[in-house]
Amino acid sequence: MSLHQDLMLNRELGLIEFNRRVLAQAEDTRLPLLERLKFLCIVSSNLDEFFEVRVAWLKEAAEHTPDRILPDGSTPGEALNLVSDAARELIREQYAVMRDTLFPALRQENILFLRRTEWDDVQQEWVRNFFFRELMPILTPIGLDPSHPFPKVLNKSLNFAVELDGRDAFGRESGIAIVQAPRILPRVIRMPPELCGGHRHTFVFLSSILHSHMHELFLGMTVKGCYQFRVTRDSELNVEDEDLKNLRTALQGELRQRQFGSAVRLEIADTCPQHMEDFLLTQFGLLPRDVYRVDGPVNLVRLMQVPDLVDRPDLKFAPFIPTLPPVLEKKVGLFQAISEGDILLHHPYQSFQPVIDLLNLAASDPQVVAIKMTVYRTGTDSVLMESLIAAARAGKQVTVVLELMARFDEEANISWATRLEDAGAHVVYGVYGYKVHAKMLMVVRREENGLRRYVHLGTGNYHPRTARLYTDFGLLTCNEDIASDVNDIFVQLTGLGRASKLKMLYQSPFSLHGMIMSAIEREIENASEGRPAQIIAKMNALLEPQVIRALYRASQAGVKIQLIVRGVCALRPGVEGLSENITVRSIVGRFLEHPRVFYFYNNREENLFIASADWMGRNFFRRIETCVPVLDPRIKKRLIREGLRLYLEDNVNTWDMQADGLYRRRTSRGKEKCAQQLLLEEYTR
């Protein structure tokens, strides 16, 4: 079978569809109200990155390779038009949810966002005093004239275009000024309860305060109009191969320019007149399709702080305490517990603390001689990094493969690299041209029978905060074959030489794609010979064309294929004669579904893997990833249930993908079954 272009769905439209599912969480009255507000903000945060990366890529492709054919058969220009229309509709729906659903519901709970027209005299006086006390000294208005060109506008910053009439003290008659709101200023400000009828949670937007007092910045002139705007820029970092001596130094130079990359999106107030829109488009080199008018604040991400400002536990998810595996609750040392058998951690239901403890113990244990770890995302404040620093200072051999090109975490990772090197750790940045996305930790300990290696392999980042928000799996083991493979991969990453054949692990860019293809072909062969054949795979994204071709062939051969793909999926399920044996579902709930779990029936052998890689071209061919087979029968049974089967039975957070790329939310017939809630109840019982 040849893969026709119309059998691949558009990647960018798939991402917009995912955010539509997230937005549905903001509308779901079964969820606590302040959590719904968070989901509304997550949509804005996701869209920011979508424009900074994916739309920026499309715009560049449309400019430099306009005749290029994308996997779905469209040209970059055609895709841009489709994406612009779809994104504009999503944003319109998002603001309608905020304005017509969430804000009224919050008001009923005495959580108010007061518009300027609602301020009484006392509140107006408070706002005026706040403006002069907290804002006026910080603001810098820029009147546009030959001596004051249009300012450099920071990526995603809040700005105001001000229309003026009259002459200033120097006789200048500009007509337009730009006022930038420094990022240090809060975007949502709480009013004193005594001014609000005793309501503790009354807020005003910074933009409202600035609107109401913008005239104070232009004495003697008339403010004819004031319009908030925000520009989103291309945030991809481009480090040139030529004359590259030190990746970290080159990257630091690029980071300084990220705030001023090419503009890709202009958000403006819906009241902004056409001539001002045209003026701003000209300044940023954008087209009308790049404008997004909004009825409300131009940056809803800043509303994410509101739930933290509101002490209403009844309007938030009930807190929970992650548990420990029973073997770790015993009074047995961590090293001994791992040596007695593999340990599977299921986050966030089970604590990430054992991983932290492993590093802490390794740093202080005199028997530990070496620690090796990959770091992709870990945050600016990481106990894991502090443990590595302590271990290096204690004289351990500490090696850290730190991915400097982890998008939007580059600055934090550069900072950790400096601190680690200062402590005496060996820090390398992987292999230039390949992102190190594998999640590996190895502790080498001298024991009675010689050196023993303790390993952690995970599907998620070494990030304690996201380990409470994302679902992921981690495997603690001292299996010698796995440990040997992990060590070989570290040698690859830090040294030079050909890739060795691994005993247990599969690795991108060398063997993982081939293994997945072979496993699919084996199911095709079994089905063709009349044997039961089944594939279940859970991942964040499915885009790689060769894998999609193979899955189509498998469906035609009669293989039952159940895919759980949280985000974008380019495969069309349920097409007669092509993919009628394939179902695709997306789970969107309280926790971000993040693990990669692959199951192949293989004539009753039931091959099961956990991995750091999605089924995308970048993960198979341009990243260093790991995939580990699950061998322990007890862990395999548990992982199949908790990672796959429960999600196939979910009828609360499940969205079924249609052949056209749209999704329908599954409605429960009878008893509701929510995988995430069931696991929470089981683990916190």
Rounded to whole angstroms, how far apart are CA atoms 537 and 222?
63
> Which of 651, 623, 641 has the alpha carbon at shortest distance from 682?
641
- Which tokens hold the place of 508? 């991108």
Residues 32, 38, 41, 42, CA torsion sign: negative
Residue 324 phi/psi, 5-degree rounding, is: -110, 150
Residue 103 phi/psi, 5-degree rounding, is: -60, -45
437 is a catalytic site residue = yes
Rounded to whole angstroms, how far apart are CA atoms 86 and 315?
32
Catalytic residue among 211, 347, 437, 513: 437
Rounded to whole angstroms, how far apart are CA atoms 412 and 383?
14
Task: Say which DSSP state 300 is in.
Answer: G
Write the single-letter amino acid at 276: M
- Which tokens hold the place of 289? 């399709």
Kindly give the residue spans of alpha helices, DSSP state H, lying in 495-544.
512-528
Rounded to whole angstroms, how far apart are CA atoms 385 and 374?
11
Output the CA angle 512-513-516, nearest 5 degrees.
85
Residues 139, 140, 142, 143, CA torsion sign: positive
Rounded to whole angstroms, how far apart are CA atoms 337 and 339?
5
SS (H, E, C) 435-469: EECCCEEEEEEEECCEEEEEEEEECCCCCCCHHHC
Rounded to whole angstroms, how far apart are CA atoms 4 and 209?
55
Rounded to whole angstroms, how far apart are CA atoms 396 and 370?
5
Contact 36, 28 (CB under 8 A): yes
> Around Cβ 189, how many Cβ atoms within 10 Å?
17
The DSSP line for 310-339 is ---GGGSPPP---B--HHHHSS--HHHHHH
Residue 385 has, within 13 A of its CA and on its CB side, a CA count of 26
> Around Cβ 337, how many Cβ atoms within 10 Å?
17
Residues 110, 114, 118, 120, CA torsion sign: positive
Contact 679, 595 (CB under 8 A): no
Work out the widest C-alpha separation in the chain, in whole angstroms: 89
Contact 611, 519 (CB under 8 A): no
> Around Cβ 436, how many Cβ atoms within 10 Å?
25
Tell me how far apart the terminal alpha carbons of the chain are, to the nearest angstrom. Answer: 51
Rounded to whole angstroms, how far apart are CA atoms 272 and 293?
8
CA distances from 209 to 127, 227, 296, 307 (A): 7, 13, 14, 21
Contact 363, 388 (CB under 8 A): yes
Burial class (CB in 10 A: 0-12, 13-18, 19+), 390: middle
Strand segments, DSSP code E, in 182-273 are 188-190, 201-205, 222-233, 263-269
DSSP, collapsed to helix, strand or coil, labels residue 141 as: strand
- Which tokens hold the place of 527? 């089905």
Rounded to whole angstroms, how far apart are CA atoms 336 and 341?
9
- The catalytic site residues sit at 437
